[in-house]
Amino acid sequence: MYLELLKEFFQDLKAHRTRAMLTLVAITWGTVAVVLLLSFGEGLGNQMMTGLLNAGDRIMIMYGGETGLTFEGLPKGRRIRMVEEDVEILRRSISGIDLVSPQYRENVSLTYGKFSTRTECEGVNPAFEEMRRMYPIAGGRFLNEVDVELQRRVLFLGAEIAKDIFKDEDPIGTTVMVDGVPFTVIGVMQKKLQTGSNNGPDIRRAIIPSSTFRTTYGSKFVNSIVVRPVDPSMQEEVKAQLYSVLGRKYRFDPNDERALRFWDFIEGEKISRRISLGVSIFLFSVGALTLVIAGVGVANVMYVVVKERTKEIGIRKAIGARKSYILAQFIFEALLLAFIGGAVGMLFSYGVVSFVRMLPAEDGPMQFLGRPVLSATTMLATTFILGTIGLLAGFFPARKAASVDPVESLRYE
């Protein structure tokens, strides 16, 4: 049966080459629209999410605020300023904390030979590497616990600031003057895409041990404390415990939200994922509508075929052809048209996506647009739409053909 249907399909294709080719082109174009829109949309969403996580991987940055409520006879309006010892208190008191680091900050002068520049310098502990994805290039390293314990004068540099200072020279092991104090460079950060920043991008940042920063600059208070929960779902629970623990130490109401301020990357990630989903749905809708219009073309072709073959259909029914056979014939042809055009469109889209991914995408818009993703979800969604369009485009003309009266059809001209 299927061989006979296939044979009839190619006979129709041969008899109406121009009409068939235009229909296939429409289906191909619609498929390309769906696949490329979804691929570039997914690639854009992935890159945006990567850029956000590169700025803060499921972390919360906590700043001291100002009390907004009176507490135990103390007035509101008191400033809350945290110290480095709070990091250890929080680590011991809150089991839901995975990683935590103090964060000192100062704008410093970096001098190497005759070259001098200013940049943001931070004093942190080793947990900062994973929380901010500050991974070193080969041959270097980030800060370790010994650096913090011994207050070593060691320096970790962002990729861009290191390039400015050292040009093509290997910076590892060299001595750089930080505000006139010698520091040894132990590592340089890998380049990374970053869509959020905390006082400037990480590629232009200088990092030293928190203990060294405290003693070098005489800092009594930290600028902030960076916290990562064991699980992102524990975000609100950990935040409540932070208010509770620090509220006991600094004597403020645990319900006083003004006492502490948060830059919540976990919440930012949730919002970004919702935005990315919304963009994907919009792009899918645009592409799907293009493909639906192509499906209307397939339906029109099938109606024309039914009209031209009315007498043939009548003869077949007169000699015993069943309705199911007539239905299967036209639905099969419509599905085959849809899937042939879809297959060509998918192959073309795959070529475009593969070519774009090979283009250099280090800077500018291509960082985002140059990483399209032809995922299984995109392929399945497109196949489902093609199948639905082929089925509907074939069903209604097929129903009309199956309902043809054999006697009336023989009189049809």
Between 25 and 39, the higher pLDDT residue: 39
Give the chain's radius of gyration (CA, Å).
Answer: 33
Mean predicted confidence (pLDDT) in 260-273 = 90
Residue 38 Cα distances to 16, 286, 290, 299, 398, angstroms: 33, 10, 13, 25, 32
Domain co-membership, 107 together with 6: no
Q: Verify that 24 and 107 share a domain, yes or no.
A: no
Check whether residue 145 and residue 187 sit in a common domain: yes
Residue 412 pLDDT exceeds 50: no
Q: Is 37 helix (H, G, I), strand (E, B) or coil?
A: helix
For residue 146, what pLDDT is reported? 96
Distance CA 214, CA 192 (A): 28
CA end-to-end span of the chain: 29
Q: Which of 174, 208, 229 is the last residue of a domain?
A: 229
Instruction: Report pLDDT for 4.
Output: 57
Same domain, 310 and 323: yes
Strand partners, 99: 228
Is residue 263 assigned to a domain?
A: no
State the pLDDT confidence band at 161, using cuts at 50, 70 and 90: very high
Q: What span, in angstroms and rounded, lies between the C-alpha atoms of 341 and 34?
A: 13
What is the predicted pLDDT for the residue at 366? 67
Q: How far apart are CA 260 and CA 342, in angstroms?
A: 56
- The whole-model pTM stands at 0.78
Rounded to 5°, the CA angle 292-294-298 comes to 110
In a domain, 157, yes or no: yes
Q: What pLDDT does residue 109 have?
A: 95
**Whether the predicted pLDDT of 226 surpasses 80:** yes
Tell whether 111 and 172 lie within a shared domain: yes
Domain with 91 in it: 66-96+232-258
The model's pLDDT over 105-151, given as tens digits with 9 standing for 90+, comes to 999 999 998 899 999 999 999 999 999 999 999 889 999 999 999 99
Q: Answer with the residue of higher pLDDT: 270 or 368.
A: 270
340 and 277 in a single domain? The answer is yes
Same domain membership, residue 324 and residue 388: yes
Residue 110 lies in a domain: yes
Residues 6+ apart with CB under 8 A from 370: 43, 356, 357, 359, 360, 361
**What's the one-letter identity of residue 235?**
Q
Q: Which residues 6+ apart lie within 8 Å of 270 measured at CB?
A: none
**How far is the CA of 77 from the CAs of 65, 70, 349, in angstroms?**
9, 8, 60
**60 domain residue, yes or no:** no
**Cα gap 201→211, rounded to integer Å:** 23
| 347 found inside a domain | yes
Whether 44 has a pLDDT exceeding 60, the answer reads: yes
In a domain, 46, yes or no: yes
Residues 377, 276 share a domain: yes
**Residue 171 sits in the same domain as residue 125:** yes
Model confidence at 281, pLDDT cuts 50, 70, 90, reads confident
Average pLDDT of every residue of the chain: 84
Mean pLDDT calculated for residue range 259-276? 90
Summarize pLDDT for 214-225 with one digit per residue, the tens.
999 999 999 999
Q: What is the mean pLDDT of residues 16-23?
A: 69
User: Does residue 367 lie within any of the structural domains?
Assistant: yes
What pLDDT score does 6 carry? 58
- 236 and 225 in one domain? no
- Cβ–Cβ contacts within 10 Å for residue 220, how many? 9
Average pLDDT over residues 11-22: 65
Domain tally, the chain: 3
Banded pLDDT at 164 (limits 50, 70, 90): very high
Same domain, 132 and 186: yes
Q: Does any domain span residue 61? A: no
Domain check: are 390 and 354 in the same one?
Answer: yes
